[in-house]
Amino acid sequence: MKGFSWFKIKFKMSPNFQNVFKVFKRYYKKIPLEIFGKNSYKTLVSTILSSRTKDEITLVASKRLFKKADNIFKLDQLDQSEIRNLIYPVGFYKTKAEYLKKIAKIITTRYKGKIPRTKNQLLRLPGVGSKTANLVLNRAFKIPAIAVDTHVHRISNILKWVSTKTPEQTEKELVKILPKKYWSDINRLFVSIGRQFTSKKKLINFLKKNKLI
């Protein structure tokens, strides 16, 4: 009897991964920066630009930059001031222009113009954190990785999959519990839902309506 009760409690507390991903896919709307798809250079650069910046602003700035420099070699040829002007008004555009100039030099010299394909190599690039590295691996190279931004962090906590204070902590916990088959989809699906239901109240109502919490 005790064993049966323990089983029921454990079963009840198991994360509802399958249901969540099924519902989120049904409500999915494409997010702006996905248009760069398998292009590793554009995915890396646009993700760096997206930090602390709305996707719509990032998209316009990215397209403006890529019109001038559609590959890493052309980016390397631009002056830092020109990069700065092209990516304005993304958040921290001066710092990001400095990062991009340094990244272009590193990749053209150390990696012969090829965007690194491992997380450790990506993390060595200026301005590249875990989220950016994982997004590049995921989107550009189809390597399963959990990219945790504010949407993934917030929704994972509301679903009670994790109980964390930062996106970094959330990534570590999700790696432990989330089946690998979901790693490639979690960022795009959770970002899409987070963009549609912008307040915590709207998000909770959506999750309750679909019996996910």
Where in the sequence numbering do the catalytic residues fall? Answer: 131
The CB-side HSE value for 87 (13 A sphere, CA atoms) comes to: 33
Q: What is the DSSP string of 62-131?
A: HHHHHHH-SSHHHHHHS-HHHHHHHHTTSTTHHHHHHHHHHHHHHHHHHSTTPPP-SHHHHHTSTT--HH
Residue 122, number of CB atoms within 10 A of its CB: 20
Q: Which two tokens stand for residue 45?
A: 């650069």
Which position has the token pair 């915590």? 200
Cβ-Cβ contacts under 8 Å for 161 (sequence gap 6 or more): 15, 173, 174, 177, 178
